[in-house]
Structure 1
Amino acid sequence: MSLLEALETPFTLKSLRLKNRFAMSPMTRYFSPDGLPTQDVAAYYRRRAEGGVGLIISEGVGLDRVHSRAVSFVPNFCDDALSEWSKVVADVHAAGAAMAPQLWHVGGVADYNYPDAEHDPLESPSGLIGPDTPGGRVMSEEDVADTIASFARAAGDSNRLGFDCVEVHAAHGYLVDQFFWSETNRRDGRYGGTDLRARSNLAAEIVRAMRAAVGEDYVLMMRVSQWKTGYYDTKLASTPAEIEQWLGPLVEAGVDLIDCSQRRFWEPEFEGSDLNLAGWVKKMLGVPTMTVGSIGLDRDLFADFAGGTSAVNMRSLEELARRFDRGDFDLVALGRVLLSDPSWLQKVREGRLGELTPYSAEAMQTLY
């Protein structure tokens, strides 16, 4: 029996049908000049689909609101880029996988890898991207309304182009997450305040607008995280009950599945239990969840920035199987292992662990 055999079972949620429980995690690639995904980008995604994952989640894509991107060679999901994305999703389908675009607004955050890149003015809830750290102009009520409408248009385009579902990037300190976090949201009124539930209003309104654009049967996913880039110990929810305040409004608004990003999926989220974030969200809210974070590797992404190579970590796969068998989460997102080795999953299935290509930072520089 394969170590991960239980994860090979199909998954169905509304109109979404996956052949197994494995997804490719969204990872920014920087290979789309003028925001247009090239044929090389299509081939990159197709190779990962051919490797056997059930769902491909695209890198974060910009909205038709120009303030949503900080780098011109991150792909758009509007205008001329849409016809190119239709080719990408067709290639992924031909290779046997489903696909979702990840809709991304960076908020006030300049790109960490290209901080000097030219871009349209950035925007954020209160002109902050961290504790007393300025970033972006303060969004007006009109800016917020236009942003909500932009997410809805992108969701409608996702459905029209034949994508199987759609994800909102609401994690890692970008725009939607900036509204969640009290350190970056100092607003009064309907999108701010001291209450975590109130600071979730922007995300909930995005979901309601997207739901109106796509109908009831189309799956809406949202990626969330406690940590923020550069602020790794941050916790929006310090107790399980606060998960309900934070994410309950999103489920009420129509989110179908929550993608729970951790740096290391095996770490407990709260004292007194070994449940990770995906486990607690499923337990508290009763919705399907996806887990992600250094799966199959011996260190997290930020350790890799220092150089060297991440080794295969079989113990993490054993722990992944144990938690899935217990019912902690429904889907598993693979990240860096698929950057370095598109056939990673197939090799693990077949026990060919000695043939796995270790992850190194150089994998981020290619579309292999």
Structure 2
Amino acid sequence: MSVLVDDNDPSVLYNSPGGWSRLGQAPEFDGTTHSSVTWGDTATLVFEGTSISLYGTLQASTGQSRLNLSIDGSDVGSYQAPIVPAVNHNQLFWTSPVFEEGSHTLVATVDQDTSSSQVTFFIDYFIYRTTSTAGKTVLVDDDDSSVTYSPGGWSLATSDDSLESTKHISTAVGSWAAVSFHGTGISLIGSPGQKDFTASVVVDESPPAIVSQSSKLQLFNSTGLPSGPHTMNITVLTGDPIALDYFLVRSDIAPASTSLGSPTPSGGVQTSTSGTRVVSKTSNIAAIVGGTLGGLVTILILIILVWKCTARSRHDNEAVVSVFPRWIESNDQSAPAPRPFKPSQHGEPTVLPPPYSLKYSPVVGR
């Protein structure tokens, strides 16, 4: 799964307050970017995953500049900013090699041509791949494999005003898109510049929410879902173009760690200074003795229960021979029900609803 980190996120550390500038405009994620023309300036991000990519904006220029990239102290490549005739947003600058799942540190170092003070690139956001998503906001791009589109109703378009430069567009009434996700909430983000379209959004079996383009990119937001798997369905209701850019999923909260505590007087569980779980020898002996005595008592109780059940069975069999014929003849209404549930009017079991209710907060716009 993918996790997006904005350039303005507190987890991104910039080394010199005087060297980096914070800028930004509408096509860039969250409207922010960072740039520097100071040689040696660094941007550092610690992430837990297997790989990471860097995206940003290219400025039309004639100057030369690049970023040198390292992971965990080892050089893994560089990004040379090309000369472009116009501004390009949401450009992929660089992707790391694949590493083992774990905590890694990315450092991007500015390597600026000292003969030019013109900024040629702007850092916009990072996207890293991970299996540890608890408590994080997961990015699902429109081109992700978890998103399904109705045949013939959608087309993939590339555009620098869209995250990762891709979006899906439809003008076919009745065409649909569905995304499967695991979490407690989801947001649908559209593409800028849309107008006049209308679509229906349903999460699981929620009432349909009608959405249309507004001045904000967020078209729909659902929160308070029970933790687990869900499905969002979007259906196009009018023939005006609608573009889907990406989804943001609020994943499950990570479970709180449990402290093992200090040693008990009876020699219970202990925690070493390194956090290793240690069980004392006296605790093992007590467990063995207690388990043996408990097993003997259990066997004795079972012998008594078997003897009582045998005696009661003989008595019940004699009673059934004399009572059962009278119950059949009188059709006694107090006789036991033939099924362990209350039958409906049609003689079938009544199906009860789940013991929880779904809570949705659809929002048109943001």
Normalised to the residue count of structure 1, the TM-score between the two structures is 0.25
- Looking at secondary structure, tell me which structure has more helix per residue: 1
Bigger-Rg structure (1/2): 2
- Looking at secondary structure, tell me which structure has more strand per residue: 2
